[in-house]
Amino acid sequence: MFKRTLFIVALLGAIFVAPLQPQLVAPAQSALLAQTPAPDFAGATIPFDLVTRHIALKVRVNNSRPLSFIFDTGDQYAIINLERARELGLNLSGSLSVGGAGAERVAGAYVKDASFTIPDLPGFSQPVNMALPLSSLSARLGQDFDGIIGSEFIKQFVVEIDYQAHLLKLHNKAKFVYTGPGQSIPIQLVNGHPILNASVTPAGGEPIRGRFVLDLGAGIALALYSPFVVQHQMLGPNARTVPAPAGAGTGGETRGRLGRVLELKIGSYQVTEPITLFSEDKAGAFASSSLAGNIGGRIASKFRLFLDYSRNQIIFEPNSTFAEPLDYALTGASIIAEGNDYRTFRVREVVENSAASEAGLQRDDIVVAVNGRPASALTLSHLNDLLEQPVTQKLKIQRGQQTLLLTLNPRRIAAVVTASGRVAHA
């Protein structure tokens, strides 16, 4: 039985990535070879949008209208939304049974005779290999989610990611020489996914080494998988954590709690008290025992990154945000974007005993305005950024035929207490 590991988007308030295990149901088509840049390739610069902390690129598939693909180190091949593939009349062949963060499986297909191009990278194209049902995730992204670009693209170059300037810079991998102040971190590519060694220090504990995937498709900072959490007793009775809204992705729902670890250390870089998802899943990707967890976009964005897969390294160069604390407030509500323009903001879930429940928010409430600003003037990214601030928010809510004014006070995650009882973060 043929098996291949992929990563795809799952969600937990903000989107994060979960591994998928597609299982072939029909005979596989032969893999299409990636296109290699010419030896004299001089480099290119590609602007990107940062959408709910995900890198979104404009691409075309078989000369289609512009589409939005997520750039994701947690994926290997180019994948297109199944609905979009059918709309474009792509040649679909065979079928895939796909599972992810939850216990469910969904059906996808292989794609034949299709390729994607990037307007800012003339002369380059690469095959689109698979079609998977991604439409339901558009509501979590707040815009059309047309596909994913993964490591088959990344490994053709040295890819420099400048989060602050919203630019990808592609370097000729044969000629690339790094001369900056950053640090090279060795990686192992496992089915196209960059795995690195790092350590986490739990509250009141000693550093614990583990293997992590650097997952730029993950909107959170750090996720620890449930076997690692259980093995190191990270959710004991004294753990300072709160329930997380359910993650919802291709493989179903995933559950966990949000809290902090004292420190994440990558090479010599120490990231203090990142907000962390402690998975409680019993099955699926976040119950995997092969990795300790994943390092997501909130941490990655504190660096200028150089993805140099040909030399099995990623260079981490701290940017001007590195010293800023990884701190944001939580509402306890999961909000999705609906409508053709993704400007209808619906409450999908409210966690008990949270800021949202205390404010009186309910499932299916529509957020009409925030602090007098109409929702139609916001994107989901803007709304999430507003509600992550630890300040009072005045919400205008539509509930059926009622219009309500609610006061929301987002809460910061509790500080870490060290073994000596000292609060490590104010």
Q: Which tens digits make up the pLDDT trace of 134-192?
A: 888 899 899 999 999 999 999 999 999 999 999 999 999 999 999 999 999 999 999 88
* CATH number of this structure's domain 183-318, picked from the four choices 3.40.190.10, 3.40.140.10, 2.60.40.740, 2.40.70.10: 2.40.70.10
Q: Exposure of 352 by Cβ count < 10 A (0-12 exposed, 13-18 middle, 19+ buried)?
A: exposed
- Asked, colleague to colleague, whether 6-30+41-171 and 183-318 share their fold, the answer is yes
* Bridge partner list, 277: 223, 258
Q: Report the CATH number of the 332-409 domain.
A: 2.30.42.10
Parse the chain into domains and list their residue ranges. Answer: 6-30+41-171, 183-318, 332-409
Report the distance separating Cα 168 and Cα 155, nearest Å. Answer: 14
| 3-state SS, one letter per residue, for 35-84 | CCCCCCCCCEEEECEEECCEEEEEEEECCCCCEEEEECCCCCCCEEEHHH
Look at residue 422 in the predicted model and tell me its pLDDT. 44
Report the distance separating Cα 81 and Cα 137, nearest Å. Answer: 10
Query: Does position 426 have pLDDT exceeding 60, yes or no?
Result: no
Average pLDDT of the residues in 356-379: 96
Average pLDDT of the residues in 352-359: 94
Query: Does position 14 have pLDDT exceeding 50, yes or no?
Result: no
- Grade residue 416 by pLDDT with cuts at 50, 70 and 90: low
For the stretch 98-133, pLDDT in tens is 655 555 677 889 999 999 999 999 989 999 999 999
DSSP conformation class of 244:
P
DSSP conformation class of 324:
S
Fold classification of 6-30+41-171 (topology level): Cathepsin D, subunit A; domain 1 (2.40.70)
Half-sphere exposure of 8 (CA within 13 A, CB side): 36
Instruction: Report residue 194 as tokens.
Output: 């960059």
* Bridge partner list, 337: 345
* Residue 344: Cβ within 10 Å count: 17
What are the start-end ranges of the H helices in 253-397?
297-300, 355-359, 380-387
Report the distance separating Cα 271 and Cα 268, nearest Å. Answer: 10
Mean predicted lDDT score pLDDT of the chain? 86
Candidates 200, 188, 417; CA nearest to 314 is: 188
Least confident of 2-6, 251-255, 292-296, 324-328: 2-6
What are the start-end ranges of the H helices in 101-252?
138-141, 151-154, 226-231
Element (H, E) at 408: strand 402-408
